[in-house]
Amino acid sequence: MPAAKNWKPEHVHTVTPYLIIKDCAKAIDFYKKAFGVEEMHRMCGPDGKIMHSCCKLGDSAIFFCDEMDDKSCGASPSTLNGCHATLHVFVEDVDKAFQRAVDAGCTPLMPPMDMFWGDRYTRVTDPFGQGWSLATHKEELTPDEMQKAGDEFFKNMQACATK
């Protein structure tokens, strides 16, 4: 077999999330509806479980596979009783993306709001237990400006908690 021309496939970035999901086919259909994911290809094993699927979200790839009975690939958020990572997705309009996700069946964890680091930001959990954060970048801040705004944010939160 000839050596690959590139050290990674052209359709992925250096870091590509690989999610293990119970009922992966159903999850991919959900992600199409909730987030606009486009499935590029799928490979199934003899038992019909998805061994590997490559999906595209914006300019990024996300890999998916079914949780295997022997957990050889790891465990899904359903098995772990919570997700161990959140996918952070930049979108053009976070309010619309949040509503689309919630309308599709995601559970809102935090409404969209302007955050001290310069993004309008929200969080949801999908029906398969996977966490998603959605953001629209609104303002470029220096690390010092971000720290100052963060200090003020946490000071205000602490003041609210003591009332």
Instruction: Specify the CATH number for the domain of residue 86.
Output: 3.10.180.10
| 13 in any annotated domain | no
Q: What is the pLDDT of residue 162?
A: 72
The torsion region of residue 98 among left (phi > 0), alpha (psi -120 to 50) and beta comes to alpha
Determine the Cα–Cα distance for residues 113 and 115; give it in Å rounded to an integer. 6
Determine the Cα–Cα distance for residues 52 and 43; give it in Å rounded to an integer. 5
Check whether 1 has a pLDDT greater than 90.
no
Q: What is the pLDDT of residue 2?
A: 62
Check whether 4 has a pLDDT greater than 60.
no
Q: What is the pLDDT of residue 71?
A: 76
Range of the domain at 132: 18-161
| 4 in any annotated domain | no
| 120 in any annotated domain | yes
| 10 in any annotated domain | no
124 vs 154, residue with greater confidence: 124
Q: What is the pLDDT of residue 3?
A: 59
Mean pLDDT of all residues in 57-70: 93
Q: What is the pLDDT of residue 69?
A: 84
Q: What is the pLDDT of residue 120?
A: 96
Contact yes or no for 83/77 (Cβ under 8 A): yes
Check whether 158 has a pLDDT greater than 80.
no
Mean pLDDT of all residues in 109-123: 95
| 91 in any annotated domain | yes
Q: What is the pLDDT of residue 74?
A: 83
Mean pLDDT of all residues in 25-39: 97
Identify the band that residue 108 occupies on the pLDDT scale cut at 50, 70 and 90: very high
| 68 in any annotated domain | yes
Determine the Cα–Cα distance for residues 29 and 95; give it in Å rounded to an integer. 22
| 150 in any annotated domain | yes
Determine the Cα–Cα distance for residues 52 and 135; give it in Å rounded to an integer. 28
| 11 in any annotated domain | no
Q: What's the total number of domains in the chain?
A: 1
Determine the Cα–Cα distance for residues 74 and 141; give it in Å rounded to an integer. 38
